[in-house]
């Protein structure tokens, strides 16, 4: 064999080894299964519901040391930017925020994806009065930090497709037991004093990162709609009509707040009341 060919072959082998090493070092590949049936067989069985997981929380936060597994559905969607590096899951017992630092998470785990959540080594914490699941942190301001992006596929395994049906509810029926769930408010409209304004403040987003608007129903019950000034629809003018709004229900202390996921989830197309 010519010396040139020997050197070329050696170089190709070294490059191949280098590429393999970089891939293994930098990437965390999710489990691969040949068929859906095989995937179902090899996924770890659920051990807890979301409600049971929340019950494990203690003040200061709790690192989960046991192999706890949750079966749930992704109910959030970060494609329009009103969520960032976080997502929400839901099962028959309730909903919960996952502080997972994976940008554009919905491109990998779209709304409606059924998942198995492996909770071992993650941390339960509380922020604004609501329990979330994240990562141990040294920041004294927060009980949980963001789970590193490259580790997310290790803990959030795809199970298949699930049903995402918002819970229909009146503004007067909102309560903390529903926090973290996807709801649909019927018979609401934005306050007359807010008409002509936008959802948030994209021009002044460095100063006003989030903006609160208010929905009201026929009985006068009110609820805040909180929108990031970085959301794609932040500069859109509030719709003037009445109708329904689908959103995530969150709480900050005693105050309920709605997080709209997509502008199309706001269906205020009927006349004002």
Task: Enumerate domains of the chain plus CATH numbers.
Answer: 36-161 (2.40.50.140), 167-270 (2.40.50.140)
pLDDT of residue 8: 44
Residue 249 to residue 194: CA distance in whole angstroms:
21
Phi, psi of 243 (to 5 degrees): 155, -135
pLDDT of residue 41: 63
pTM, to two decimals: 0.84
Residue from 186, 241, 192 nearest 217 by CA: 186
pLDDT of residue 40: 54
> How many Cα atoms occupy the beta-carbon half-sphere of 4 within 13 Å?
0
Q: What single DSSP character describes residue 7? A: H
Q: What is the pLDDT of residues 207-247, one digit of tens each?
A: 999 999 999 999 999 999 999 999 999 999 999 999 999 99
pLDDT of residue 44: 95
Q: Which helix (H) or strand (E) segment is 61 a member of?
A: none
pLDDT of residue 47: 98
Tokens of 236: 């859109």
pLDDT of residue 165: 94
Check: CB of residue 86 under 8 Å from CB of residue 97.
Answer: yes
pLDDT of residue 216: 98
In this prediction, the residues of the chain whose per-residue pLDDT falls under 70 are: 1-41
């Amino acid at each position: 064999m010519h010396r040139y060919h020997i050197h070329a072959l050696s170089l190709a082998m070294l490059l191949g080894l280098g590429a393999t090493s970089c891939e293994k070092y930098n990437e965390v590949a999710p489990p691969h299964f040949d068929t859906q049936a095989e995937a179902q067989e090899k996924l770890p069985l659920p051990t807890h519901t979301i409600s049971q997981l929340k019950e494990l929380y203690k003040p200061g936060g709790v690192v989960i040391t046991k192999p706890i597994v949750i079966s749930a559905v992704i109910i959030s969607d970060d494609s329009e930017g009103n969520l960032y590096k976080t997502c929400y899951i839901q099962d028959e017992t309730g909903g919960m925020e996952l502080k997972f630092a994976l940008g554009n998470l919905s491109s990998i785990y779209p709304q409606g994806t059924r998942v198995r959540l492996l909770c071992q080594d993650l941390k339960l914490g509380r922020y604004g009065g609501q329990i979330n699941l994240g990562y141990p942190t040294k920041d004294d301001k927060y009980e949980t930090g963001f789970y590193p992006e490259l580790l997310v596929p290790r803990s959030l395994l795809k199970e298949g497709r699930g049903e995402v049906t918002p819970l229909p509810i009146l503004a007067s029926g909102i309560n903390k037991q529903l926090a973290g769930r996807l709801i649909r408010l019927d018979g609401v409209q934005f306050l007359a004093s807010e008409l002509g304004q936008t959802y948030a403040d994209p021009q002044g987003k460095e100063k006003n990162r989030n903006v609160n608007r208010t929905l009201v129903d026929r009985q006068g019950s009110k609820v805040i709609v909180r929108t990031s000034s970085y959301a794609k629809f932040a500069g859109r003018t509030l719709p003037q009509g009445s109708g329904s709004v689908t959103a995530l229900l969150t709480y900050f202390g005693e105050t309920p707040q709605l997080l709209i996921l997509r502008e199309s989830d706001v269906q205020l197309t009927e006349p004002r009341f």
